Amino acid sequence: MTSTVLVEIADGVAVLTLNRPDVRNALNARVLAELRSALESLRADDGVGAVVFTGAGGRAFAAGADIAQLRDYTVHTGLAADMQRLYDEIEAFEKPTIAAINGYALGGGCELAMACDIRVACPAAKLGLPETMLSVLPGAGGTQRLARLAGVGRAIELILTGRLVSAEEAREIGLVTAVADDPVGAAHDTARRILARGPLAVRLAKLVVRTGIDTDQRTGLVVERLAQALLYTSDDKREGAEAFLAKRPATFTGN
């Protein structure tokens, strides 16, 4: 049986490719299970420093939940919230995550992209949350993450109307980070830049930003100070400073 999630690792970067191109990489229970399994393996792989998500076929990143399964969803399905819980795991993943949006990113596909730290879209990409047309709402984090990325007013407009936005508009409103002709290549370039930094600093910086955005500024600043104090004790801090002064590349160990 063909895997619905392909995993390729090279130069410290893992690429997870949603592999259902015949249905625009629609997300069903099997895809979610394979994504979760892949992430568990990558979390324990010290040779992987960043994770890129993309879609197979060149037409779509992911066109949302599989409507064939949606017909059978019940109140218990909603309360279980399997997709929402998985995307929470992706948002909290210890290693940087990048969505390479190479086509349509709709519904659960858009929500997957929003759970990533960085989003790069091709010029032809279309993003949106059209769930209200099916008399459901974006239930995998879309109501919350879109509001944080694009603002409350814009989020309400896009969710209530189901309007799709172009890659350029998505960039303008903060829904995507950048637009590139080759989003997977651009994601690799970004990942390589991240991998050249201190891995402990990268991990803690992501943690501090994610934690601070959901609390008040004073609390966020306390978390920032504690993280910085911890980094000041690290071997990598000493190596970074010494390498800079010696005008040589740093060799970080993550300690």
Q: Evaluate if residue 74 carries a pLDDT over 90.
A: no
CA of residue 83 relative to chain centroid, distance: 14
The confidence band for 191, taking pLDDT boundaries of 50, 70 and 90, is very high
Give me the amino acid identity at 184: V
| 66 pLDDT higher than 80 | no
Q: Name the nearest CA neighbour of 203 among 92, 61, 94, 82.
A: 94
Q: Round to whole Å and give the CA distance between 234 and 229.
A: 9
Tokens of 58: 């060149």
Output the pLDDT for position 33: 95
Going by C-alpha positions, the residue among 205, 134, 186 that lies closest to residue 13 is 186
Cα distances (Å, whole numbers) of residue 86 to 59, 133, 207, 234: 24, 24, 18, 32
Q: What pLDDT is stored for residue 34 in this prediction?
A: 96
Are 35 and 16 spatial neighbours (Cβ–Cβ below 8 Å)?
yes
Given 131, 169, 224, 242, the catalytic residue = 131
pLDDT at 92: 94
- Scored b (16 or more CB within 10 A) or e, 99-116 reads bbbbbbbbbbbbbbbbbb
Q: Which residues contact 189 (CB under 8 A, 6 or more apart)?
A: none
**In CATH, what is the architecture of 199-245?**
Orthogonal Bundle (1.10)
Distance from C-alpha of 155 to C-alpha of 173, rounded to nearest angstrom: 10
**What tokens were used for 234?**
């690290």
Question: Do 69 and 33 form a contact (C-beta atoms < 8 A)?
Answer: no
Per-residue pLDDT tens for 136-158?
A: 899 899 999 999 999 999 999 99
The 10s digit of each residue's pLDDT in 207-249 is: 999 999 989 999 999 999 999 999 999 999 999 999 999 999 9
Each residue's pLDDT tens digit, 78-131: 888 899 999 999 999 999 999 999 999 999 999 999 999 999 999 999 999 999
pTM of the model: 0.93
CB 118 within 8 A of CB 99: yes
Residue spans of the domains in the chain: they are 5-195, 199-245
pLDDT of residue 24: 93
- Is 40 known to be catalytic? no
DSSP state of 117: S
The per-residue pLDDT for 67 is 76
pLDDT digits (tens, 9 = 90+) for 170-180: 999 999 999 99
Check pLDDT > 80 for residue 68: no
List C-alpha distances in Å: 227 to 44, 94, 126, 182, 200. 23, 15, 38, 35, 10
242 noted as active-site residue: no
Fold category of 5-195 in CATH: 2-enoyl-CoA Hydratase; Chain A, domain 1 (3.90.226)
Active-site entry in 91, 111, 169, 224: 111
Give CA–CA dist 122/55, Å, rounded.
12
- For the chain, what is the mean pLDDT? 93
Check pLDDT > 80 for residue 65: no
Tens digit of pLDDT for each residue in 8-40? 999 999 999 999 999 999 999 999 999 999 999
Q: Which residue has the tokens 């929500």?
A: 111
- DSSP class per residue in 162-203: ---EEHHHHHHTTSSSEE-SSHHHHHHHHHHHHHTS-HHHHH
